């Protein structure tokens, strides 16, 4: 069963596990999506408000009525939703805070890329703050001010601190224990994009009052961070 983080008459917030599709894509993947699973378990029609990538874990909001979906979607469109992600990256940023203001354009296979000089892209801004530094890695807080496809992942790559695992944007599919000098060297320490939607705040669709939902760090990231701390 998927962990419920918040539930009321209009809003359902769940803790999305890594590796699960939020909704079936255009190709109609055979595997069930999280939306399918929740609708089956709860026996109700749930409506998508936003998405998280397959590899991303954390807070996912769903609407329980068309009116709630409309109000929450408008909040996203108008920039009234505040999101905090945690990202494990390669490299050690020398400054405590970095803002990347780089427009993005659509790329092949559903990806995004920075707009080239003279190319019109969608304005995209992300602020990154250093949370913890390790040897060769860092844990960053990511605060996206806009909501473009793969924005955090592309901005991290642009800044020179890609996600520690990101096959699409960094060419790295996994971290093996041997990479950290740990045994058994061939065992996978982390095999998904280490990006976690930790907190989300938006106006409640019924009252307009701020609603904040938080998701705890998942076990795989806790283990990885614990091992990295032990190597400092």
Active-site residue, 53 included: yes
The residue from 8, 15, 36, 53 that is catalytic is 53
| Three-class SS of the chain | CCCEEEECCCEEEEEECCCCCCCCCCCCCCCCCHHHHHHHHHCCCCEECCCCCCCCEEEEEEECCHHHHHHHHHHHHCCCCEEEEEEEEECCCCCCEEEEECCEEECHHHCEEECCCCCCCECCEEEEEEEEECCCEEEEEEEECCCCCCHHHHHHHHHCCCECCECCCCCECCEEHHHHCCCCCCCEEECCCCEEEEEEEEECCCCCCEEEEECCCCHHHHHHHHHHHHCC
Active site residues: 53
């Amino acid at each position: 069963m998927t962990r419920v983080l918040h539930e009321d008459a209009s809003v359902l917030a769940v803790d999305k596990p890594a590796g699960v599709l939020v909704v079936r894509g255009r190709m109609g993947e055979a595997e069930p999506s999280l939306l399918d699973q929740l609708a089956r378990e709860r026996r109700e029609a749930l409506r998508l408000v936003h998405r998280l990538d397959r590899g991303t874990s954390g807070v996912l909001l769903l609407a329980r009525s068309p009116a709630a979906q409309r109000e929450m979607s408008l909040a996203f469109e108008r920039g009234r939703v505040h999101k905090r992600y945690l990202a494990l990256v390669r490299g050690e940023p020398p400054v405590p805070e970095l803002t990347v203001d780089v427009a993005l354009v659509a790329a092949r296979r559903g990806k995004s890329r920075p707009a080239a000089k003279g190319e019109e892209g969608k304005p995209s801004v992300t602020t990154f703050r250093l949370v913890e530094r390790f040897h060769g890695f860092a844990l960053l807080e990511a605060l996206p001010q806009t909501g473009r496809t793969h924005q955090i992942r592309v901005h991290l790559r642009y800044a020179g601190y890609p996600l520690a695992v990101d096959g699409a944007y960094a060419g790295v599919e996994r971290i093996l224990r041997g990479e950290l000098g740990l045994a058994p060297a061939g065992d996978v320490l982390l095999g998904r994009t280490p990006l976690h939607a930790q907190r989300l705040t938006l106006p409640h669709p019924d009252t307009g009052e701020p609603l904040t939902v938080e998701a705890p760090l998942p076990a795989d990231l806790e283990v990885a961070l614990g091992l990295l701390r032990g190597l400092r």
